[in-house]
Amino acid sequence: MSTPLVRLRLDEATAKRVADVLEDAFPFGEASIAAFEVTKDDWSVEVYGGPEATADELAAALREALGPESAGLRIEADAIEEADWVAKSLAGLAPVPAGRFVVHGSHDRDKVPADVIGIEIEAALAFGTGHHGTTRGCLLAIDELLTERRFERVLDLGSGTGVLAIAIARAQQSPVLATDIDETSARIAGENAEANGAGAFVESIHATSFDHPVFAERGPFDLIVANILAGPLVELAPDVKGHLAPEGRVVLSGLMNHEEERVLAAYVAEGLALVGSRQLEGWSTLVLKG
């Protein structure tokens, strides 16, 4: 059985932007996306689809996701044998350092320094491998916050692969509640926590809203991290505030730079104050306090 592959050759800035757009455009598990350097001035974006689609269909979906920007891009459609596609998609993903953390695939396990916290995540099924400005921005913000204080009640809202929950649990050796509206994501986050030695601390739950009883049982939280999208972040502002402990901290990402003002306004309206921000590859990470 073969797997469809679509490849684009771009400059570095365009490659990273295109990869970010595609990660947000394709539903969870529908495609694996990798952006990596080929030569100094040449980057590749590779998109691997599921076996139910052809390479031409994947290319058409990619063009639709990119809109008018796709008109000027050279898009190559191909197919590779299923046995090779995961290895090929991972080969271009180098370890990603973020403060005390390094996110890596199993192929780079031996490259992780002994003095950092290595988080091993495979890219076959999930957004949140660390190779995205939002995930790295959150990890850097978490690294800074954990130098200031210990957080006893932690929520990773929209946990995806569980990278952020694992990072906090490993750094503090303390419980973290990880939730996601996607049942597959919640399962994978739990599996990743087990694989990274954080299974005893990370509880991964499928929860479609704050009405789930686990939030009342485990809250109020003194740290909430939410790496999702700008629209849901705005909608969730009252619930996040309602489940935040006094003097708690909130880390928000998944928003592009131009969306920062709108998201921040929603949380300021709930009484939170901005204490830090960072922009990486066109994406913003906000840190607020209650």
Q: Return the amino acid letter for 42.
A: D
Residue 56 assigned as binding residue: no
- What is the rounded (10 degree) CA torsion for 228, 231, 233, 237? -160
What is the per-residue DSSP string for 29-93? TTEEEEEEEEETTEEEEEEEE-TTS-HHHHHHHHHHHHGGGGGG--EEEEEEEHHHHHHHHHHT-
Take residue 144 and report the two structure tokens written for it. Answer: 């800074």
224: closest CA among 142, 127, 112? 142
What is the per-residue DSSP string for 133-165? HHHHHHHHHHHHHHHH---SSEEEES-TTSHHH
For 185-230, give the secondary structure using H, E and C: HHHHHHHHHHHCCCCCCEEEEECCCCCCHHHHHHCCEEEEEEECCH
> In a 10 Å sphere around its CB, with 0-12 CB exposed, 13-18 middle and 19+ buried, how is residue 229 labelled?
middle
Q: Cα–Cα–Cα angle for 265, 271, 272, nearest 5°? A: 70
Take residue 249 and report the two structure tokens written for it. Answer: 């901290």
Whole-number Å distance between alpha carbons of 276 and 114: 29
Residue 227 assigned as binding residue: yes
Segment holding 24, helix H or strand E: helix 12-25
Q: Measured between alpha carbons, how far apart are the two ends of the chain, in Å? A: 53
User: What phi and psi, each to the nearest 5 degrees, are found at residue 235?
Assistant: -65, -30
Sequence ranges of the binding site: 135, 158, 180, 227
Sequence ranges of the binding site for S-adenosyl-L-methionine: 135, 158, 180, 227
